[in-house]
Structure 1
Amino acid sequence: MEQETTQPTGLRRDLSGRQVGMIAIGGAIGTGLFLGSGLAISIAGPAVIIAYAVAAFAALALAYALAEMVAVRPEPGGFGALIQRYLGRLPGFVSRWIYWAAQVVNIGSEVIAAGLYVQFWYPQLPLWLPVVAFSVLMLAVNLAAVRFFGEFEYWFAMIKVVTIVVFVVLGVVYIVFGLPGQEPAGLAPLTEHDGFLPNGIGAVWLALTVVTFSYLGTEAVSMTAAESRDPARDVPRAARSMVLRLGLFYVLGMLVVVSIVPWHQVSTSESVTESPFVTMFGMVGIPAAAGIMNFVVLTAALSAMNTNLYLTARMTHSLAADGYAPKWFATVSRNGVPRRALLLSAAGLVLAASLSVFAADSAFPLLLGLALFGALVVWILIFASHLVFRRRRVAEGLPPSPVRLRGAPVTTVLALLFVAAVLLTTPFTAQFSIAWQAGVPFVLLLVVAYYLVERRRRVR
């Protein structure tokens, strides 16, 4: 099987297969599901289940498209290097920097969410205090050797995997059989309060902007290729394992929530202060379980934040190695960690701490919208790279990848068009109208920066 030969990067191949798999889960399941789902439910009502099911197909197509390419090109830089290889240097430059910016902002949203979860127990606690404390903790984890990071993330992700399974099982039991002292809930909340589609089918589409954000992070698995012990085996395996988990966690999880909690009590689009998962446990009269679930969603936010710090540091390292960021950021420590790149990526934590002080009530939706534009642009470029990848391998007479996206290239085109349509919808949603206002100028700035960097390279 053909594989790309790469130059030494200083990064160490210390991540095991089980750690790679859990890093993928850590990136894909976080605040977007546990806290952002409240925004989606407030827009679409019980029909949010449809939105999660539809977006799942696009996320799964992305996971398989990346696995197909990484299986034969397990190179440092993950999807950014693949985009550069198959679409050109400009898309490679833009995709990596816009993804870096999106994930830096996303880190801020995760740590804001973690602070909100702490306020569940200590409502009088200033939001900035847990934000700063968690920022220091996650930076310390990422400054350690990648082997330690991988083990830490494995157990953090395992907590939410096990708990969501228990949550779904407990919810189904409550719906069908009831709990001690509680009658069976049934499915009445699905159709009560103005029906299954309280705000119309159009609201389901608008909710897709929030729902798709919940799946962002699916692409994270490709970034482990440079530090995986066996990337050609472990990365595709991790991508495939997400198929069942995404369907279980997102679709069934939302089905349980909206079947028990009246949709209009979950959240409002203007304020997000509690996870709908925690709200559900509070309503069924299990306050202890609500506290436990709040702890779980706290670990989920910290897990996603931990993974995103890892991703942004490696993306910065990749850009520096290719000459698209100062070479200073390509340096790694003795234990193989790009510490300078990591400290640059911690800028998102500074942003989050500032917003937690000056805009605590609106910080999370704001950060959500800023991150969405860049991440969706990257998804579009990944799908476009997959189309070129398939066409080039046929033209060059190369054997197919051992991992294949079924139905491609039709599947790839449909997923690409879906993501593009979601991106074009963001200006029409109150929560994410800022995405285009910030995203488009930033892309133009990156294009200008690319040509300036390239001219400097030619002069040298």
Structure 2
Amino acid sequence: MNEGTGLRRELSGRQVGMIALGGAIGTGLFLGSGLAISLAGPAVVVVYAVAAVVALALAYALAEMTAVHPEAGGFGAISHRYLGPLAGFVQRWLYIVAQVVNIGSEVVAAGLYVQFWWPDVPLWAPVVGFSVLILTVNTLSVRFFGEFEYWFAMIKVATIVVFIGIGVYFLLFGFAGHPSPGLSAVTGHGGFLPNGLGAAWLALSVVTFSYMGTEAVTLTAAESRDPERDVPRAARSMVLRLGLFYVLGTAVLVLVVPWTEAAGTEGITQSPFVRLFEYAGIPAAAGVMNFVVLTAALSAMNTNLYLSSRMAHSLAIVGHAPRSLLKISSRGVPTRSLAVCALGLVLAVLASVFSPQQAFPLLIGAALFSGLMAWIIIFATHVAFRRARDREGAPPSPIRLPGAPATSVLAAVMLVAVLVTTGFTDQFFVAWLAGPPFLVLLVLAYLPVRRRAAARAAEPAT
């Protein structure tokens, strides 16, 4: 039991590691990579590598701070401690909104994947079914949630490993009826950087969004059996695995399929993953890939619901959310926080009835803005954390971000530049329509919340 929160320390080391990895690998790699390729061409490999450096710096910074402060609320609670209650309040609510919206978008995506097999099924039916399933999983014990997520994330990981293995073999030896393309996919069709450096930079805003979820590692600390050991270990494993899966995976992708074809936007049947599996003689490759992206969507939805509910619970602990969200079930689950964060599922059901194409673009923009702002605040917190620890002469954390605090400052500056760039992309410009007004609204909302929290703290104990 985590004293003071009611949460139970039931997540094993392998579950913490897979939750963190599963949160960072979503449908963005299987399907969303096509959008990045359409902008950067084969140079998308370099773009993914650059974004990976920022994401891995984030993972190390978070692990360093969480190993010292393994408490409920993860990075939001640490921001509260080192940057003040306003920063902690704004960051946590930004993150909750981003995750709630992502929950809705993932379950709608899962419903669309079901329509690949049964196109006549109304979208709302699988959306409702998957919503009930994931809510049920999250209301059971955290140990059951961890095991469920472990195996869902394992499907994604196994698929990427198989894809890379088949791709390397194909590039070296080819398959029957399909000779190895060599380097023709990179040297032809305009070369390695067909659309110029500007287009590659625009792709960085798309690719950075794919790494959202890296921060999940810290939010498991309050329910990990041994956070001082498991969180740093999970962060270290992500360094190797993210680099392998994203960078090597996209490298194989653009070497096997010309980027002009890999950038197709016609869904599962046009996925470069499907093309390679078909070359390898895997029957029903499109159906197999559809199952994989379905589990990827459900995995992301499952993790996002877990993360947002724990963040909402941590806000209630410090008085920045209604006290009712402190309620913990007999299984150690913050059920009322879970119910609030399930709002994304309600939005998804409504959107699936009234047209997801019109209901979600503005919300997705707000989610992107909120997610990037949360990352920027994490790096700012790490700078303050290092300064405070050095000033106090405190012993170093068991895991440290190399080159910090300079590393944190550079990463934050890059994220600010990426955030500004989103305003110049057709896909994410809506982030600037929804994000800044929401940020201002949060700052204004903090004033009455602070007064209420102070009044609650002054109440005599009963």
Partner Cα separation in structure 2 for residue 187 and residue 353 of structure 1: 46
**2:151 aligned with 1:155:** yes
Alignment of 1:179-328 (within 5 A): 179-267=175-263, 276-281=271-276, 284=279, 286-328=282-324
Alignment of 1:364-443 (within 5 A): 367-443=363-439
Partner Cα separation in structure 2 for residue 133 and residue 217 of structure 1: 24
**2:440 aligned with 1:444:** yes
The CA deviation at 1:77 is 0.6
The CA deviation at 1:171 is 1.1
Partner Cα separation in structure 2 for residue 254 and residue 368 of structure 1: 24
**2:58 aligned with 1:80:** no
Match of 1:175 among 158, 171, 174: 171
Q: 1:208 to 1:364 in 2, by over 3 A?
A: farther
Partner Cα separation in structure 1 for residue 35 and residue 360 of structure 2: 11
Structure 2 counterpart of 1:42: 38
Counterpart AA for 1:352:
A
Q: Conserved in 1, the CA contact under 8 Å of 2:62 and 2:75?
A: yes
Q: 1:46 to 1:118 in 2, by over 3 A?
A: farther
The CA deviation at 1:110 is 1.6
The CA deviation at 1:459 is 4.2
Could you say what secondary structure the match of 1:226 adopts? helix
Alignment of 1:89-128 (within 5 A): 89-128=85-124
TM-score (norm 1): 0.94
Partner Cα separation in structure 1 for residue 24 and residue 211 of structure 2: 6
Could you say what secondary structure the match of 2:180 adopts? coil
State which drifts further: 357-366 or 58-67. 357-366
Q: 1:256 to 1:126 in 2, by over 3 A?
A: farther
Partner Cα separation in structure 2 for residue 191 and residue 131 of structure 1: 43
Partner Cα separation in structure 1 for residue 364 and residue 278 of structure 2: 27
Q: Conserved in 2, the CA contact under 8 Å of 1:146 and 1:336?
A: yes
| CA displacement 1:131-173 (0-9 Å, x = unmatched) | 2221111111111110100111111111211221111110111
Q: Conserved in 2, the CA contact under 8 Å of 1:78 and 1:222?
A: yes
Question: Across the two proteins, how many residue pairs are aligned to each other?
Answer: 455
The CA deviation at 1:277 is 4.3
Structure 1, unmatched stretches of 5+, are: 1-5
The CA deviation at 1:49 is 1.2
**2:339 aligned with 1:343:** yes
Q: Conserved in 1, the CA contact under 8 Å of 2:268 and 2:286?
A: no
Could you say what secondary structure the match of 1:433 adopts? coil
Q: Conserved in 2, the CA contact under 8 Å of 1:376 and 1:423?
A: yes
Q: 1:111 to 1:38 in 2, by over 3 A?
A: farther
Q: What's the % identity of the aligned pairs?
A: 67
| CA displacement 1:225-266 (0-9 Å, x = unmatched) | 110011111111111100111011111111122222232333
Structure 1 counterpart of 2:459: none
Match of 2:350 among 348, 354, 364: 354
The CA deviation at 1:121 is 2.4
TM-score (norm 2): 0.93
Partner Cα separation in structure 2 for residue 406 and residue 203 of structure 1: 30
Partner Cα separation in structure 2 for residue 23 and residue 111 of structure 1: 18
The CA deviation at 1:187 is 2.7
The CA deviation at 1:193 is 2.5
The CA deviation at 1:10 is 0.8
Partner Cα separation in structure 1 for residue 104 and residue 41 of structure 2: 27
Q: Conserved in 1, the CA contact under 8 Å of 2:108 and 2:127?
A: yes
State which drifts further: 211-220 or 111-120. 111-120
Structure 2 counterpart of 1:135: 131
Counterpart AA for 1:90:
L
| CA displacement 1:368-389 (0-9 Å, x = unmatched) | 4332111110111110111111
Q: 1:355 to 1:36 in 2, by over 3 A?
A: farther
Q: Conserved in 1, the CA contact under 8 Å of 2:274 and 2:289?
A: no
Counterpart AA for 1:436:
W
Partner Cα separation in structure 2 for residue 43 and residue 112 of structure 1: 26
Alignment RMSD (CA, Å): 2.0
Q: Conserved in 2, the CA contact under 8 Å of 1:142 and 1:310?
A: yes
**2:308 aligned with 1:329:** no
The CA deviation at 1:107 is 1.2
Counterpart AA for 2:78:
L
Counterpart AA for 1:307:
T
The CA deviation at 1:272 is 5.4
Counterpart AA for 2:99:
Q
The CA deviation at 1:361 is 4.7
Structure 2, unmatched stretches of 5+, are: 457-462
Q: 1:259 to 1:353 in 2, by over 3 A?
A: farther
The CA deviation at 1:321 is 1.3
Partner Cα separation in structure 2 for residue 402 and residue 385 of structure 1: 18
Counterpart AA for 1:218:
T
Partner Cα separation in structure 2 for residue 405 and residue 279 of structure 1: 38
Q: Conserved in 1, the CA contact under 8 Å of 2:362 and 2:434?
A: no
Q: 1:360 to 1:277 in 2, by over 3 A?
A: farther
Q: 1:154 to 1:105 in 2, by over 3 A?
A: same
Q: 1:448 to 1:79 in 2, by over 3 A?
A: same
The CA deviation at 1:210 is 1.1
Counterpart AA for 1:234:
D
The CA deviation at 1:406 is 0.8
Alignment of 1:2-41 (within 5 A): 7-41=3-37
Partner Cα separation in structure 2 for residue 175 and residue 123 of structure 1: 36
